[in-house]
Structure 1
Amino acid sequence: MSTAVRISNSLVKEAKINAKVENRSITGQIEYWAKIGKIAEENQDIPFSFIKEILLGLEQLDSNEGVEYNFG
């Protein structure tokens, strides 16, 4: 389900630039930022680089390209 949201022009311009670099749509870039921001806010003790590695690992598992790590 999609919902229309008003976003400042400056944020859209920044998203457009970053979206090109990351090969995402503008919407996808803003959703990515929101996802990262939510995770960072909920886990303030985890560095951004670790959050990115976790998301990469989860995506690899979803794509059947990763190897699940078993502790112990």
Structure 2
Amino acid sequence: MAIAIKLSDVLVEDAKPYAQAMHRSVPKQIEYWARLGKVAEENPDLPITMLQDMLVSIEEVKAGNLSPYKFG
């Protein structure tokens, strides 16, 4: 469910260069930051890079980009 929210101009301006660099819209960049922040609060002992990799992995599974791991 999408809803309209009011964001500060500073947050929107801060998000613009990141959105452009990551090929996202500004709202999608802010949504990404919110998701990452939520995961970071839930897992304070894990490094941000690991949390980012986990979010990417979740999206890869949703997209069906799976391959079996071969031990040895």
Q: TM-score range by the shorter chain?
A: 0.7 to 0.9
Give the RMSD, CA atoms, in angstroms.
Answer: 1.4
Shift of 1:67: 2.7
Shift of 1:68: 5.5
Give the 3 Å change call, closer, same or farther, for CA 6–66 of structure 1 in structure 2: same
**Structure 2 counterparts to residues 8-47 of structure 1, below 5 A:** 8-47=8-47
Normalising by structure 1, what TM-score? 0.84
* 2:36 aligned partner, one-letter code: I
In percent, how many aligned pairs have the same letter?
39
How many residue pairs get matched? 69
* 1:44 aligned partner, one-letter code: P
Gap runs ≥5 in structure 1: none
Tell me which residue corresponds to 1:4: 4
Matched, 1:61 2:61: yes
Give the 3 Å change call, closer, same or farther, for CA 68–62 of structure 1 in structure 2: farther
2-structure distance, mates of 1:67, 1:33? 28
Q: For the Cα contact (< 8 Å) 1:16–1:26, is it kept in 2?
A: yes
Q: Kindly indicate whether structure 1 or structure 2 has the higher relative contact order, using CA contacts under 8 Å at least 6 residues apart.
A: 2
Structure 1 residue ranges (4+ consecutive) displaced by more than 4 angstroms after TM superposition: none
Gap runs ≥5 in structure 2: none
- Partner secondary structure for residue 7 of structure 1: coil
